[in-house]
Structure 1
């Protein structure tokens, strides 16, 4: 099998999705023959025009034997999206979720458990099993390949599949080459500009010891963001019986969100990255290479939250809120649509500032030897990755409770105002508390593989492959936090060492939300004065201890703040070590029945996994805390077969069938055996009611679950592909997944051998599940148009996915099937593009239908939808022009529609409130790309 890398021009770059693995390759225009870990050798097809790119890509799709799609860049920096995750959103069958103005969760055919590789070898971030795809700047990439089901010769895919991120090597270029670009972006919500840039330098030389090539690439990507959210609390409360309500006819039986508020997520992130590649070809049979990558992330956050309590009473004057002008949702008498609230609890706010970073390094050395019929390859890699975060959160409260006028569904979300409140007066604010956190996660690993491919010379069995792979992974996490509660001291906000107080930014669009700004220190005023805030917290806690000598919580907080840095808590830590051993065999077959051609591959991969997972439980009993180390071990073997068949009845039409099995290992943190346990102390003189389930519980707790098993799936695929011209095709693919073992957090009661009957919140394997669906993709140039319009082309794809799974049998006696969380039934991509006379344009549209975020459990044990997300859509546009063969200017706009993210809380099967309305940024970009050499 040969994997074919192909190049596409800038206009439809992020739209084109086609397989990149082929059984029969078109002739290479130049020799690259670069090895990819656990994949076949690569013959690179260089295509400079969009039409030729589509023609070559279509030929590759016709000849592919792996079920995968790909996006690749014809030139340096020509992936128009900012990150790899954003580009993936345009591929058939792929869905993404966005937060903080970027795609940060990728699903393939509705499944989130995606394995990731870099140039064919496994890559991860810190303690995770996969890399954060948004940390790959798109400017650095040569291509992205999405394996929707695995074959025996690649790294084991996740339940959803595998995403391979590919960069360039020096033998990809004919000679010396220098290329790159600079780009500036403007966010209309932050009103700020950000620089981005990349440069690649490559050369190759003929020397007495053979041909040598060296490539170096550096990339810098930056963005500043601020999302605005107005929300209803998901806790739905019944009006207090002690509240005064008017009109009197409203009664005291209606319900409404416990609070409303603002949540403005903002900050600055920048990602420095770089990679190098060295190739040495001493003769035409042997090649030796080295790959190195550094992937960095730096974040500086400043997130604002204001929470306006609508239900609780004021403890200082023991006053429940008064509700006037109460209105109801049409057709109900128990669901409030809005009211005016006076009295009760004062609003509370925080500004959470943070600084975090990721540093990931991977180096690999390998070799490929190509004989007449036998090809041998090997690859050895080491990776080290660390993620560290610090947070400094400054909490405030209003000095008194202002009047609140609220509507719970105004333009699809909460909207409120505080009439008469002077937001600019510092006297209206008190210091509520100060929080610090320190989080460190690390991961490292060694991986080795060796492969052999044999050309048999037999027409019915043309190729046989064998291979071995070994991995050794370490992962760890430790964290700590401390908090000083200061509100009872009524310390004025203006008296603290945080510099000048300022009104927070107003990032909202439209006029639905009335109250948008209040006083807070700047980000630098908090993070830059952390030492002074710690000293002030110590002084405040000393006062609290003096006023509350029997309160152990204040004493513990004072002890924590007396240390110069946040104490790291061993009870919040875990460590994991894991080794895996894999071997595979795979063969190609081919035969004819009359005029109909049949071919395909059949293989099997056997993987043994050995793991050890350690943590420390925290057990509290009658005010005494005990730390208990716990360790568990796992040892299991997976046998993963794959078989595919392609049928070609006529030249333009072909049919495919495929079957694979996949396994996904559970995340390390979910396997943490440590528990956080509070043992219940009962008065022995009070008899236990045996009919009360709560009366029998000995403890409550939370933690990981060492009994989790890998996620498993049997995958069935079929497709029909019709190619009506050299650049036009219509393809249809259907798929079915029979799966088991999704993991999610649930709260239920179990019998623990140590703690007895315990009500615990922890991850559990869900029951059986099934996913079925189809994908349709079409593309063509509009050659039937008049000559002046022949540069136009269109492409579109649609994916339908129906996925259901059962709740864990430990949670529900007879679990029913429910929709899989995070899965949209429909995903659409459509594009119109143009390329002619150096001008390239693209207009692309993406839409996801609604999905369920998560499920909650009622006190009686029944399940229902907790939060569902409404359909989301985006429209992006780009335009570029070649000033010369060396220089190209470009302009682009992303998120043109700027439609807000919206979700809903179904707190009862027949009752719904909006939750969030999130306004995201619209980005404008201008760029200049350059390339010299070839």
Structure 2
């Protein structure tokens, strides 16, 4: 048994009414010992309380874990769960629109992470399984635990790790509490778009109580957020190799080897293919509701019902200019200045641009319901039954509205643009035309991007994808406690999970309803939709015409053409995937000694049976139209997952942990679809030959890995510890897009069969590789060294990761998505006499991240290293001696203090900036009141 001397730590947790949570469910029980005994309780609050409880959770777990605990009701240390998680050793976050959104654990990207709420797997609003953590209000969560090693009782395993978000236990809390918080928020970039706001607020209220002699507990919470977000964004089309051409004595450069049939000369350097800079203003609106009901009438029965609901709306307005460069139709670039193989300055003569007034709007909601029941039959037998449902829905609108000086190329006014590389995030331009002039800039298709109703008739585009995800689960388990021996108890049980996820992906070309068929038809923006011009001075293009494009669309001013009717790939973007997973497990909990060294831990085995299927579509083009055929396919299989976790107390409060397991992460659901689009050519006899196409893979198997962990943890004080860990993950397989032979006679058994085998590109389970790393963390309260340092402390962690994954034994290594070679987190804090201050920094090196591309699809790009700094100061009036202010605390917080940009780049040259996003700083001032 662990002999850690808890003293102050244990007393603090008793005073707080905190409970130790197991992974599978809340093990909380009201501890009345402190009430019955005459103990002087030392009250610890604020940052130190949070660190103490996190340390206690880490120490007492049988697995290797990291934890975050709330300082008080509704007061997790950051404004979002993802940002809090990103401060943990081996954990890093990727930002989306300025906020932490998804996480990677130990170099494994979001696809390899599972999220649970009170031990139950959560449905997700994105195209895959990974949870977007900004959907969960931090004010409604009590703690978050990251499990880096699994045991056999963990039903939601993942190769990277499992993040368990935990709500409060009202019976364990032990007292009536009402907590209210309110914070105002402001972004220092100001309101970049007309009609947007740079101010917002966050508020929450929580109520916790106990009834019927502490046998019934209730916790209810509500949190609301109206958060502004502003962004100055540079985007490049790309950086092609240039060719030099001469036309009428003018030397110019573009990406075409031939220009008007005349071969060009390779220039030997790269240039700007085109640019799409814009400003974005968004307002995030989120409402979250939590309710927990506990019933424990006696020591033999404990029942908990928890309900969580979140509604999230992100309304974005984007305005900017698309500027064709080397990929343009006007000839290309002139007057080059070249530095180290890159055109860093030059001009675009006769430039035609597109003015963009776009809208991105996302409405998402999540609902989770769980009912857990525990029965202590006698001293030897415990039984547990758990039933749950998690559901997530998402509806997006991604609208593009185009305007310019004319319909089609070579029609309207042109401009001569100069440009120069700014050294950090793209190019700065100079111009001559007034792009905010409503008499110059008209609605239409300036560059001929599409022809749904004739030449140059794509005047806009709208995407309307919808996601529905539902996950139902039932678990029945039992534990038999032995009376003696090395095996303390044996657990066994079964879990059944049914999951259904669908995506309906619709997109439409937009053509002005008044279009009369003439080649140069344009329309002035009606006055009722005009807004104040938007400034693009951040990259030198002045003001642009701005209008309410969504209102213009909603009023019926566009004709819509379904892109799926004419685009083969778009016709197979919708899908449905179903999974039925049955998991049986047995696990022995160990407690013994080895050569006088106390040993605890567990060893177990899971048998996982999966039955998966998908409903999709087979699509081809015949006579210029897309022809669809329904298709359903799937597979079933069994995987065996052994695991062992051992903890040795090698010295007083010093623990060595060993862990080994075979783990799985289920494949991306958007790659498991049964869709297939194909083309073919006919031979003279009428048979079909040369089949080729692209497909999903409903038979795709999960990622599998054998992982090994070793850690050393030294808990040298109630408020301090040091730990170091090494890990190795042997990936048995990995998923790649591969060319495979596909038998088309399985789809068309009555069709031509003279050559039914075709070449199809689809995701397949290929070769694996490894991920390995080392991570270390230290938490120190400087007051242990000298009284003058009392209240000062620090938490520092870092990790180093390395991987090698190959598609085939002889291929080059593949970059693993989400893997940063180095991460470093540091927090310095001061807390004394009610005053509280902290500054936190998180760094992650370059990594391959997933972002949104055209038509709201996803792609992997290189993300530049970043360091994000946040700061907070506050005062708790409970320490002031002013009785009327007891329970009141105030805080001032700055997020992104150093205004760190988010930058992605192409190839391995960081000068080739694909996307540069400047978010500014967010300031928050608020108060909490608890009574």
**TM-score category, normalised to shorter length:** 0.7 to 0.9
- Equivalent residue, structure 2, for 1:732: 724
Q: Which whole-Å CA distance do the structure 2 matches of 1:657 and 1:786 have between them?
A: 36
Q: Which whole-Å CA distance do the structure 2 matches of 1:366 and 1:786 have between them?
A: 48
Deviations along 1:570-597, whole A, 9 cap, x unmatched? 7542222221111111112233344333
Report if the CA contact (8 A) 2:400-2:462 is conserved: yes
Aligned residues: 846
Q: Which whole-Å CA distance do the structure 2 matches of 1:717 and 1:557 have between them?
A: 50
Shift in CA distance, 748/910, structure 1 to aligned 2, threshold 3 Å? farther
Shift in CA distance, 472/47, structure 1 to aligned 2, threshold 3 Å? farther
Q: Which whole-Å CA distance do the structure 2 matches of 1:753 and 1:680 have between them?
A: 14
Please report how far the alpha carbon of residue 356 of structure 1 lies from its aligned counterpart in structure 2 after TM superposition: 2.4
- Equivalent residue, structure 2, for 1:297: 312
Gapped runs of 5+ residues in structure 1? 10-23, 539-553, 561-567, 686-695, 856-864
Gapped runs of 5+ residues in structure 2? 32-42, 192-197, 255-263, 406-411, 446-458, 746-754, 852-858, 879-885
Tell me whether 362-371 or 54-63 shows the greater mean CA deviation.
54-63
Map residues 139-538 of structure 1 onto 2, 5 A cutoff. Answer: 139-191=139-191, 192-206=198-212, 211-239=215-243, 241-243=245-247, 252-254=265-267, 255-312=270-327, 314=329, 320-321=331-332, 323-330=333-340, 332=341, 335-343=342-350, 346-370=352-376, 371-398=378-405, 399-407=412-420, 409-430=421-442, 431-432=444-445, 433-485=459-511, 489-496=519-526, 499-506=529-536, 508=538, 513-521=539-547, 525-532=548-555, 534-537=556-559
Map residues 707-726 of structure 1 onto 2, 5 A cutoff. Answer: 707-726=699-718
Q: Which whole-Å CA distance do the structure 1 matches of 2:145 and 2:860 have between them?
A: 35
- Equivalent residue, structure 1, for 2:83: 86
Please report how far the alpha carbon of residue 403 of structure 1 lies from its aligned counterpart in structure 2 after TM superposition: 0.9
Q: Which whole-Å CA distance do the structure 2 matches of 1:142 and 1:372 have between them?
A: 31
Shift in CA distance, 28/607, structure 1 to aligned 2, threshold 3 Å? farther
- Equivalent residue, structure 2, for 1:110: 107
Report if the CA contact (8 A) 1:412-1:902 is conserved: no
Map residues 687-836 of structure 1 onto 2, 5 A cutoff. Answer: 698=690, 701-743=693-735, 746=737, 748=739, 750-754=741-745, 762-783=762-783, 787-807=787-807, 809=808, 814-836=810-832
- Equivalent residue, structure 2, for 1:915: 914
Report the TM-score when normalising by structure 2: 0.84
Please report how far the alpha carbon of residue 427 of structure 1 lies from its aligned counterpart in structure 2 after TM superposition: 3.0
Kindly report the root-mean-square deviation, in angstroms, between the aligned alpha carbons of the 2 structures: 3.5
Report if the CA contact (8 A) 1:325-1:340 is conserved: yes
Please report how far the alpha carbon of residue 37 of structure 1 lies from its aligned counterpart in structure 2 after TM superposition: 7.2
3-state SS of 1:479 partner: strand
Please report how far the alpha carbon of residue 380 of structure 1 lies from its aligned counterpart in structure 2 after TM superposition: 1.1
Please report how far the alpha carbon of residue 186 of structure 1 lies from its aligned counterpart in structure 2 after TM superposition: 0.6
Report if the CA contact (8 A) 1:94-1:107 is conserved: yes
Please report how far the alpha carbon of residue 153 of structure 1 lies from its aligned counterpart in structure 2 after TM superposition: 0.9
3-state SS of 2:549 partner: helix
Shift in CA distance, 243/64, structure 1 to aligned 2, threshold 3 Å? farther
Report if the CA contact (8 A) 2:245-2:252 is conserved: no
Report if the CA contact (8 A) 1:190-1:225 is conserved: no
Deviations along 1:804-828, whole A, 9 cap, x unmatched? 2113x4xxx8322233233111000
Tell me whether 234-243 or 257-266 shows the greater mean CA deviation.
234-243
Report if the CA contact (8 A) 1:498-1:529 is conserved: no
Deviations along 1:232-283, whole A, 9 cap, x unmatched? 3225142363557877999942232311230434321211010111112222
Q: Which whole-Å CA distance do the structure 1 matches of 2:96 and 2:507 have between them?
A: 25
Deviations along 1:614-637, whole A, 9 cap, x unmatched? 111221134243211111122111
Shift in CA distance, 149/401, structure 1 to aligned 2, threshold 3 Å? farther
3-state SS of 1:672 partner: coil
Report if the CA contact (8 A) 1:245-1:326 is conserved: no
Please report how far the alpha carbon of residue 558 of structure 1 lies from its aligned counterpart in structure 2 after TM superposition: 13
Report if the CA contact (8 A) 1:216-1:275 is conserved: yes
Q: Which whole-Å CA distance do the structure 1 matches of 2:64 and 2:564 have between them?
A: 59
Shift in CA distance, 899/363, structure 1 to aligned 2, threshold 3 Å? closer
Please report how far the alpha carbon of residue 340 of structure 1 lies from its aligned counterpart in structure 2 after TM superposition: 1.3
Shift in CA distance, 416/241, structure 1 to aligned 2, threshold 3 Å? same
Report if the CA contact (8 A) 2:564-2:626 is conserved: no
- Equivalent residue, structure 1, for 2:834: 838
Tell me whether 499-508 or 830-839 shows the greater mean CA deviation.
499-508
Please report how far the alpha carbon of residue 518 of structure 1 lies from its aligned counterpart in structure 2 after TM superposition: 1.4
Deviations along 1:158-181, whole A, 9 cap, x unmatched? 221111111123213323221120
Report the TM-score when normalising by structure 1: 0.84
- Equivalent residue, structure 2, for 1:42: 28
3-state SS of 1:426 partner: coil
Deviations along 1:679-714, whole A, 9 cap, x unmatched? 4579x79xxxxxxxxxx9935543422242101111
Please report how far the alpha carbon of residue 720 of structure 1 lies from its aligned counterpart in structure 2 after TM superposition: 1.6
3-state SS of 1:403 partner: strand
